[in-house]
Amino acid sequence: MAETELYPQALRDLGDAGHPALSLVVPVYNEERTVEQVYTQAVEALESCGSSYEIIFVDDGSTDGTWDALERLHEQDAQLRAVRFKRNFGQHPAMHAGLARARGDIVVTMDGDLQNQPSDLPKLVAAVEAGADVASGRRRGRADSWGRTLPSRLINGMLRRFTRAEISDFGCAFNAYSRDALTPVLGMIGKQKFTKALVLSAGASVVEVDLEHRAREGSSRYSPLRLTRLALHVLAGFWPQPIQWAGVLIGMLCGGLALAVAVWATVVWVLRGNFPGMLYLGGLVLGVLAVQGFILALVGEYLGRIQRDVEGRPLYTIERELE
Please give the pLDDT value at position 1.
43
Shared-domain flag, residues 83 and 19: yes
Within a 13 Å sphere around the CA of 196, how many CA atoms are in the beta-carbon half?
Answer: 27
Backbone angles phi, psi at 249, to 5 degrees: -60, -45
Closest CA to 178 of 130, 233, 245: 130
CATH code at 69?
Answer: 3.90.550.10
Please give the pLDDT value at position 9.
44
Shared-domain flag, residues 169 and 253: no
In this structure, is residue 196 part of a structural domain? yes
In this structure, is residue 55 part of a structural domain? yes
Shared-domain flag, residues 82 and 173: yes
Please give the pLDDT value at position 21.
96
Within a 13 Å sphere around the CA of 11, how many CA atoms are in the beta-carbon half?
Answer: 22
Closest CA to 82 of 38, 17, 27: 27
In this structure, is residue 56 part of a structural domain? yes
> Using CA atoms, how far apart are residues 186 and 190, in angstroms rounded to an integer?
8
Bridge partners, residue 211, by sequence: 139
> Using CA atoms, how far apart are residues 200 and 192, in angstroms rounded to an integer?
13
| pLDDT digit string (tens) for the chain, length 323 residues | 445 554 444 455 554 456 899 999 999 999 999 999 999 999 999 999 999 999 999 999 999 999 999 999 999 999 999 999 999 998 888 999 999 999 999 999 999 888 889 999 999 999 999 999 999 998 876 655 565 666 677 777 777 777 777 888 887 889 999 999 999 888 877 676 778 888 888 889 999 999 886 655 555 555 555 656 666 666 666 665 566 566 666 767 776 777 777 777 777 777 776 767 766 676 677 778 777 777 766 776 676 667 667 766 788 999 999 98
Closest CA to 230 of 317, 153, 316: 153
Task: Enter the pTM of the model.
Answer: 0.72
Please give the pLDDT value at position 124.
96
Please give the pLDDT value at position 90.
86
Structural domain harbouring 277: 242-311
User: Cα–Cα–Cα angle for 159, 164, 169, nearest 5°?
Assistant: 45
* Residue 61 contacts residue 87 (beta carbons within 8 Å): yes
In this structure, is residue 178 part of a structural domain? yes
Residue 151 amino acid letter: P
In this structure, is residue 21 part of a structural domain? yes
Total residue count of the chain as it appears in this document: 323
The DSSP code sequence of 176-240 is EEEHHHHGGGTTTBTTBS-HHHHHHHTT--EEEEEEEB-PPSS--S--HHHHHHHHHHHHHHH-S
Shared-domain flag, residues 41 and 125: yes
